[in-house]
Chains A and B, each alone.
Chain A
Amino acid sequence: MAAPRLTRRAFLRLLLLAGIGGGLAYAERRTQPAGLSNFLRWLARGWLRQQQPPAIVALAGGLDYDENVLRDALEDLWAQAGMPEVAGKRVLVKPNLIDWMEGRPIVTAPEVVAAVLDVLQARGAAAVVVGEGPGFRRDAKPLVAHSGLARVLAAHGVPFVDLNYDALRPVPTRDGWFPRTSTLWLPRHVVEADLIVSVAKLKTHHWAGVTLSLKNLFGVVPGARYGWPKNILHVNGITPSILGLRASLPPVVSVIDGIVGMEGDGPLLGTPVPHGVLLAGADPLAVDLIGAQIMGFGAEEIEHLAIGTWAGLGQGFHIEVRGAPLEALRRRYQRPPGKS
């Protein structure tokens, strides 16, 4: 019997298949260590985001730390930004309390936390707690006292939870940003929240460029499991850790305290910038992009914001700014060391 002959058409088909296989192998190699499936999913989701409606970020300027003024301003921003309904929900308010250094504006001002609590309580949140797991302190209680937050909590009847020592729950990592970790152990008050309000500080950061409402989420990672200052996040990489936490947590909305910001060697050793701005929005990526612009950074300068936009982890392509005009509030913050 004669051996089957390879026809021209069959040869071209084989060539095509070899080309596709080779292309996939090349793409797989080029997308390591993220993995081809993650890469394609992020790419597709980013493309879909471009077809979706804009995120809304609400801005206010000319503010100081007068609690009554702040409460009214945040109430306006909350409505303008189309924040989600909080009535009947369990809400975790997560300020930035990374450390305390007298005279340095490194933490979210307690007056801003007070305004957030006012808004949440006025809108009927069922249970509100304020929680933080400081990266550079073994005990958050002195930070709460020194920063003035204790007074605010007492006035609002809201408890504080040191997230470094909360009971822990296993949470599967989602979206491929922690390639060597399938499970994160996270505080009960984080996992069980219906909504997290990331109440961040407008600051530079020597590794991430800026620390706004997404980077602020590092504080939910418990020291009792991962140590101080949460070294797993640096081992995994700052950008994938920021994006991976965002993907693995309950819904997050953002409020950023830029009334006094910080420039230069943030997040701890920078210098104050009296700026008078407050930002709010339901899409943390969009809020942080606007926050970075207000500080004079381009989106491409901040890796986690650029990649988060590309991967569609929020609406970074189309953002509608409401309230105060962005251009009028834009400044040029001094860059952190090594990022000028």
Chain B
Amino acid sequence: MNAALADRFLEQTQNPDGGWGYHPGDPSMVEPTGAVMLALADGSDGSDRPAWSRAHAWLEQAQHPDGGWGFGLEDPESHWATAWAILALARRQPDTPAVRRGVRWLWEVPVLRIVQRDLTEEIARGLGIDPAIAGWPWRPGEAAWVEPTALALLALAAAGALAENLPRIPEAVRYLADRRCRGGGWNFGNPFMLGTYLPPRAHPTAWALLALGQVAPDQIRDEDVAALRHEMAADGGALALALGVLALETIGRPDPQARARLAAMQQPDGSWAGSPYVTALARLALGGGWPWQPRA
């Protein structure tokens, strides 16, 4: 990887307002902005980069009065993007008021939890899950899904907030265990649908492994790692490889072949797939890795 070239691509694609879109020139959004901030802070706290400081200001501007974030400045609803904003802001300083308000939003966001016995039994038959166990939803009030649950756990860990609401953390870990696909890895939500087992997918599996690495590494199984290796190789896209390599390096199970394949996908302009978002994740994966070390 040419890290300097990647950084130059990221800095050159920053919007005048300080954020990044998923594609150069697109309006700034929280997820790509958060990912790029983590990448640009690689090996430092980022404060020495003017691009990082402008992005920091944009993120603070985008925070809603309820403490959460939408996809960008014009989105009035707080949702899953909140976790990305917390990750980016906590990278420099985990105890600022903006981070604290974001953390409170994550603790308080409502999630669908079904506890009526007749319904839980029916859902268990149809979807193979226990709907009484909740993680985090994409949007307030909806059911929990693997990726927003993993992102929330990572954000809370980054903000040093895991101990604030102990019951919710072990429940989220149980949620991930409950949603694990047969044979390892994760699909987006349920592992089973109307009589058929669903296959794992690279992206949710990578996020789930990253999160478990932070909060419950003893829950990681060899079959999860094997599922991720297989799925990211089969997918073959830069995003799947970047996330997969990032997760595997972070939990101490590197995949040199995938790493080499990802490095070879860097384009002459320094990017991966021409996207600031994918480039940021690839830069992290091949550089310093996830900024927060997994729990021993």
Task: Please report A residues at the B interface, Cβ cutoff 8 Å.
Answer: 101, 136-139, 141-142, 145-146, 165-168, 170, 185, 206, 224-229, 231-232, 235, 265, 269, 336-338
The answer to the question of B143 belonging to the interface, with a C-beta cut-off of 8 Å to chain A, is yes
Q: Is the CB of A145 within 8 A of B236?
A: yes
Given contacts A137-B203, A166-B26, A228-B138, 10 further A-B contacts (CB under 8 A): A138-B240, A139-B235, A141-B239, A224-B22, A225-B79, A227-B79, A228-B188, A232-B139, A235-B142, A336-B194
Determine whether the beta carbon of B75 is less than 8 Å from that of A226.
no
Instruction: Please tell me if the beta carbons of A138 and B203 are within 8 angstroms of each other in the complex.
Output: yes
B147 located at the interface, meaning its Cβ lies under 8 Å from any Cβ of chain A in the complex: yes
A265 lies within 8 A of B239 (CB)? no
A224 and B31 contact, CB distance less than 8 A? yes
In the complex formed, the residue of B with least CB distance to A135 is: B188
Task: Name the 3 nearest CB pairs between A and B, nearest first.
Answer: A227-B138, A138-B203, A165-B22
Q: Is the beta-carbon distance between B143 and A231 smaller than 8 angstroms? A: yes
- Asked if residues A338 and B27 are in contact (CB atoms below 8 Å), the reply is no
**CB–CB A231/B194 < 8 A:** no
The smallest beta-carbon distance between A14 and chain B, in angstroms, is: 45
Q: How far is the CB of A144 from chain B (nearest CB, A)?
A: 10
Cβ B240 vs Cβ A142 within 8 A: yes
Contacts of A227 in B (CB 8 A): 79-80, 137-139, 145, 147-148
The main secondary structure of chain A at its interface with chain B is loop
Contact yes or no, B196 A265, CB < 8 A: yes
- Give 11 pairs: A residue, B residue, CB < 8 Å, sorted on A: A137-B235, A145-B236, A165-B275, A170-B74, A185-B71, A225-B75, A226-B138, A227-B80, A229-B189, A232-B139, A337-B195
Q: B23 at interface (Cβ–Cβ under 8 A)?
A: yes
Q: Are A231 and B139 in contact (CB under 8 A)?
A: yes
**Cβ B235 vs Cβ A136 within 8 A:** no
Which residue of B21, B27, B194 is within 8 Å of A265 (Cβ)? Answer: B194
A222 and chain B: residue at smallest CB distance: B71
- In whole angstroms, what is the CA distance A57 to B237 when docked? 39
Instruction: Report whether A141 and B80 are in contact in the complex, using a CB–CB cutoff of 8 Å.
Output: no
Instruction: Please encode chain B, from 249 to 261, with 1 for each CB lying within 8 Å of some chain A CB and 0 for all others.
Output: 0000000000000
A174 to chain B, nearest CB (A): 19
A165-B148 contact, Cβ under 8 Å, with A142-B236, A224-B71: no
B201 at the A interface (CB under 8 A)? yes
**In the complex the two chains form, is A139's CB within 8 Å of B21's CB?**
no
Contacts of A166 in B (CB 8 A): 22, 26
Contact B194 A206 (CB under 8 A): yes
Tell me which residues across on chain B come within 8 A of A229, comparing CB atoms: 188-189
**CB-nearest residue of chain B to A207:** B194
B119 within 8 A of A: no
Q: Is the interface of B mostly helix, strand, loop or mixed?
A: loop
Q: Mark B111-127, 1 if CB is under 8 A from A, else 0.
A: 00000000000000000
Chain A residue contacts of B247, Cβ below 8 A? none
Is B99 engaged at the interface, CB distance under 8 Å to the other chain?
Answer: no
Query: Is the interface on chain B under 10, 10 to 19, 20 to 34, or 35 or more residues?
Result: 35 or more
Whether the pair A141, B148 counts as a contact (CB closer than 8 A) is: no
Smallest CB gap from B202: residue in A:
A138
- For A145, list chain B residues within 8 Å (CB): 236
Nearest Cβ on chain B to A99's Cβ, whole angstroms: 9
* Interchain CB contact under 8 A, B237 and A142: yes
Q: Which residues of B contact A226 (CB under 8 A)?
A: 138-139
Q: How far is the CB of A95 from chain B (nearest CB, A)?
A: 18
Q: What are the residues of chain B within 8 A of A146 when measuring CB–CB?
A: 236
> Hey, what's the 0/1 contact readout for B141-173 against A, CB within 8 Å counting as 1?
011010110000000000000000000000000
For the complex, is B193 an interface residue (Cβ under 8 Å from A)?
A: yes
Chain A residues positioned under 8 Å from B145 (CB to CB)? 227-228, 231
Contact B235–A224 (Cβ < 8 Å): no
* Closest CB in chain A relative to B32 CB, distance in Å: 9
- B residues in contact with A136, CB < 8 Å: 187-188, 201
Partner of B235, one of A142, A206, A228, A269: A142
| Residues in chain B near residue A168, CB distance under 8 A | 27, 71-72, 75
Q: Which residues of A contact B143 (CB under 8 A)?
A: 231
Expressed in whole angstroms, the Cα–Cα distance for A228 and B142 within the complex equals 12
Residues in A whose Cβ lies below 8 Å from that of B29: 224
Q: How far is the CB of B82 from chain A (nearest CB, A)?
A: 13
Contact A167-B80, Cβ < 8 Å, known A225-B75, A265-B194, A337-B195: no
A338–B193 CA distance with the chains assembled, in angstroms: 12
B145, chain A: closest CB distance, angstroms: 6
Select from chain B the residue with minimum beta-carbon distance to A141.
B237
B109 at the interface (CB under 8 A from A): no
Residues of A within 8 A of B188 (CB): 136, 228-229
Determine if B194 and A338 form an interchain contact, defined as CB atoms under 8 angstroms apart.
yes
Complex CA distance for A296 and B175, rounded to whole angstroms: 40
**C-alpha gap A265/B201 in the complex (Å):** 19
Complex-state Cα separation, A336 to B195, whole angstroms: 11
Are the CB atoms of A167 and B27 closer together than 8 Å? yes
Q: Which of B142, B147, B188 has the most CB of A within 10 A?
A: B188
Bound complex: CA A206 to CA B196 (Å): 12
In B192-243, the 8 Å CB interface with A consists of: 193-196, 199, 201-203, 235-240
